[in-house]
Amino acid sequence: MQSPEGELIAILKKNKMDFVLTLPCEKIRGLLYGVQKEFFHVPLTREEEGVGISAGIALAGKRPAMFVQSSGIGNMINALLSLTGFYELPLAIFISQRGIYKEKIAAQLPMGRRLPHILKGAGIAYSTIRTKKDFRKVEERLPDIYKNGRIHAFLLSPAVFEGVCDTDIPELPSCPVSGRTEAHVARKVKPQLTRFEILKMIAPYLNSKVIVCNLGFPSKELFSVKHQPSNFYMLGSMGMATPVGLGISIASDKEVIVIDGDGSILMNPGTLATAAHFSPKNLTIFAVDNGSYGSTGDQPTLTGSCVDLSLVAQGFGIRDVQRVAGKRQLITALKKPHKRVRFIHALAIPRNKDVPPITLHHLEIKKQVMGVLES
Ligand SMILES: Cc1ncc(C[n+]2csc(CCOP(=O)(O)OP(=O)(O)O)c2C)c(N)n1
Chain-centroid distance of CA 62 in Å reads: 27
Confirm or reject: Cβ of 215 under 6 Å from ligand 1.
yes
| Residues paired with 258 in a beta bridge | 212, 285
CA pair distance 349, 343, nearest whole angstrom: 19
CA pair distance 137, 151, nearest whole angstrom: 14
CA pair distance 184, 303, nearest whole angstrom: 11
Percent of the chain with pLDDT over 90: 91
Indicate the residue type of 166.
D
Residue whose CA is at the smallest distance from ligand 1 atom 6: 25
| Ligand 1 binding pocket mutation candidate from 66, 240, 296 (most atoms within 8 A of CB) | 296
The pLDDT value given to residue 189:
77
**Mind listing the pLDDT tens digit for each residue in 262-279?**
999 999 999 999 999 999
CA pair distance 251, 248, nearest whole angstrom: 5
Return the ligand 1 atom nearest residue 239 CA: 15
| Ligand 1 binding pocket mutation candidate from 23, 28, 293 (most atoms within 8 A of CB) | 293
Confirm or reject: Cβ of 288 under 6 Å from ligand 1.
yes
Give, as one character, the DSSP assignment of residue 2.
-
Secondary structure (3-state) at 211 = strand
Secondary structure (3-state) at 271 = helix
- Give residue 2's pLDDT band: very low, low, confident or very high (50, 70, 90): confident
**Mind listing the pLDDT tens digit for each residue in 149-197?**
999 999 999 999 998 655 455 544 544 444 555 555 445 678 999 999 9
**What's the 214 CA to ligand 1 centre distance in angstroms?**
9
Residue-by-residue DSSP string for 69-86: EHHHHTTTHHHIIIIIIT
The pLDDT value given to residue 256:
98
Mean pLDDT score across all residues of the chain = 94
The pLDDT value given to residue 181:
54
As a whole number, mean pLDDT of residues 279-292 equals 98
As a whole number, mean pLDDT of residues 224-250 equals 97
Q: What number of other Cβ atoms are within 10 A of residue 134's Cβ?
A: 16
As a whole number, mean pLDDT of residues 226-233 equals 98
**Torsion on CA atoms 62, 68, 70, 72, rounded to nearest 10:** -90
The pLDDT value given to residue 163:
81
Return the ligand 1 atom nearest residue 289 CA: 16
Question: Residue 296 — φ and ψ, nearest 5°?
Answer: -105, 10
- Give residue 43's pLDDT band: very low, low, confident or very high (50, 70, 90): very high
Domains of the chain: 4-168 (3.40.50.970), 177-374 (3.40.50.970)
**Mind listing the pLDDT tens digit for each residue in 329-340?**
999 999 999 999
Return the axis-axis angle of helices 4-14 and 29-38, rounded to nearest 10°: 40
Confirm or reject: Cβ of 218 under 6 Å from ligand 1.
yes
Confirm or reject: Cβ of 248 under 6 Å from ligand 1.
no
**Mind listing the pLDDT tens digit for each residue in 79-120?**
999 999 999 999 999 999 999 999 999 999 999 999 999 999
| Ligand 1 binding pocket mutation candidate from 93, 109, 295, 309 (most atoms within 8 A of CB) | 295
Contacts of 208 (CB under 8 A, 6+ apart): 228, 230
Return the ligand 1 atom nearest residue 108 CA: 25
